[in-house]
Amino acid sequence: MKMKCIIVDDEPVARKILREFIEEIDYLDLVGQAENPLKAMSILNAQDVDIIFLDINMPKLNGIEFLRTSALKASIIMTTAYPDHAVEAFGLAVLDYLVKPIAFDRFLKACNRAKEIGKQASPVAAPPMRSDHFFIKCNNQIEKILYNDLVYAEAMMNYVMLYTVSKKMMVYVTIKSLEEQLPSDIFIKVHKSFIVNMNKVKSIEGNILDIGNEKITISQNLREKVIGEIVKDRMIKR
């Protein structure tokens, strides 16, 4: 079953690019386009829509104001040239936040996520229980580390320094290998040299994460993804 979607963007070129992206994805059905949120309402009032691709900077009513003033059932994927509104947008429960120019693979990832959310209404088998720990070799012995105890990891050439709540240890493993094996719903790569436990983040200010007793810089190219994963579905709304 196809997912109905609309584009809300005042720039013709931006609408054209999004339209071409949508045409490449077989489960999407573009049912309307609008230059601003006020015109989009006539489309939304006429039919149910699954996904809204929403710009921010538009005349009369911008995308953020539209989210604040409307009760929307559709998944919202922001498509904007302004990265600075990401935290505010996720606080309004958007599904994803794409910064122009948008790469097709990033667009596809956001749409796939919307598709998975749409499937959640169907009953599925309960996933198997996951362990709460992992083992790693350090100083000629095998150490058990609880996921909840690992605060962050830092790359050091061919080694990685693990910082837990009680100690630090140097292990012979690459940051890439560690990222692939740690659960992605708990840990996220925020910089080419750092993986952090999202549950340990105290605050985010600009590109700086306050985690444990350290300040860790988020890479500019990862900022959108990192803030989205840390904040999503957890921001208290007004």
Which one of 119, 143, 171 terminates a domain?
119
Domain boundary, last residue among 67, 94, 119: 119
| Residue at 195 is within a domain | yes
Range of the domain at 107: 3-119
Do 115 and 138 lie in one domain? The reply is no
pLDDT tens digits along 64-101: 999 988 888 899 999 999 988 898 888 888 999 999 99
- Do 92 and 137 fall into the same domain? no
Is 138 in the same domain as 115? Answer: no
Asked whether residue 204 falls in the same domain as residue 143, the answer is yes
Q: Say if residue 94 is in the same domain as residue 163.
A: no
In a domain, 125, yes or no: no
Tell me the percentage of the chain whose pLDDT exceeds 90: 60
Structural domain contains residue 238: no
Regarding whether 109 and 168 lie in a shared domain, the answer is: no
Domain at 140, CATH number = 2.40.50.1020
User: Do 111 and 15 share a structural domain?
Assistant: yes
Q: Tell me, yes or no, whether 236 lies in a domain.
A: no
pTM of structure: 0.56
Structure-token match 């989205």, residue found: 228
CA angle 90, 10, 70 (to 5 degrees): 45
Q: pLDDT category, 60, cuts 50, 70, 90?
A: confident
161/114 same-domain check? no
Which pLDDT band holds residue 102 (cuts at 50, 70, 90)? very high
Residues 97 and 169 in one domain: no
Look at residue 205 and tell me if it is in a domain: yes
Whether residues 98 and 38 share a domain: the answer is: yes
- Is 127 among the domain residues? no
**Residue 20: band (very low, low, confident or very high) from pLDDT cuts 50, 70, 90:** very high
111 shares a domain with 18: yes
* Sequence letter at residue 203: S
**Number of folded domains in the chain?**
2
Domain boundary among 119, 145, 171: 119
Q: Per the domain annotation, does 39 fall within a domain? A: yes
Residues 79, 19: contact at Cβ < 8 Å?
no
Domain annotation covers residue 104:
yes
> Is residue 112 located within the same domain as residue 202?
no
Within 8 A by CB and 6+ apart from 95, the residues are 75, 76, 77, 110, 113, 114, 117
Q: In 95-226, where do the E strands start and end?
A: 96-99, 133-138, 141-146, 150-156, 159-164, 168-171, 187-191, 194-197, 201-205, 208-211, 214-217
Which CATH number belongs to the domain containing residue 24 in this structure?
Answer: 3.40.50.2300
